[in-house]
Amino acid sequence: MIKDTAFIFADGGVVVDWASTVSGIDLVKQKLINNLMTDFGTDEIVPARGTGLLASVTGGGVYDLRSAQHALNFAALAAKRTVRAYESPDALPSERVASFSVLLDGVVDRKLVTKLIITTEDGNSIGLTQSLT
C-alpha cells in the first residue's frame, strides 16, 4: 500500500497535515486535485506536471459556462494523464486512477463550483464538490 502526506483542501487554500497520511482513493484524489490546480511548467521537479486550467481562467479563455466546462474537460484529461504516467508499478488497483471527470456545477461569488468524480481501477468511486478560485 502506497501512502503520502495528507493535504487538506479547503476554500481558503491547502494545508499540509504532516501528522496524517492518505492512501487508496484518497491518495488518488489528492494527486488529481494537486495536478488539476498546478500550472504547466511550474513544478521544477516534474515540469510536465499540471494543466492549463488556471492560465485559461486568468488569461481570458473562460468567458462563459460553456468555455468553463471546456477548460475543465481538458484540465481533467491532462491531470489524469499525468497521474497515470507517474503511478508506481507496485500500486494496487485501489491506488490507480481509472477515470476522472470535472463537471461545472455553477458559479458562486466568482468561483467555479465543480463536482469531481474519481474512479479507481478497482471500481471504487468518489464524488466531491470543490470551489475553484
In a domain, 66, yes or no: yes
In a domain, 43, yes or no: yes
Give the residue-averaged pLDDT of 49-69: 88
pLDDT at 133: 60
Q: 130: alpha, beta or left, given left = phi > 0 and alpha = psi -120 to 50?
A: beta
pLDDT confidence bin for 46, thresholds 50/70/90 = confident
In a domain, 69, yes or no: yes
CB distance 33 to 132 below 8 Å: no
| Percent composition of the chain: helix, strand, coil (DSSP 3-state, to 5) | 30, 35, 30
* Domain count for the chain: 1
In a domain, 108, yes or no: no
Residue with cell 456545477: 105
Q: Does residue 62 have a pLDDT over 80?
A: yes
pLDDT at 7: 74
| pLDDT tens track for 85-101 | 999 999 999 999 999 99
Kindly report the average pLDDT of the chain as a whole number: 87
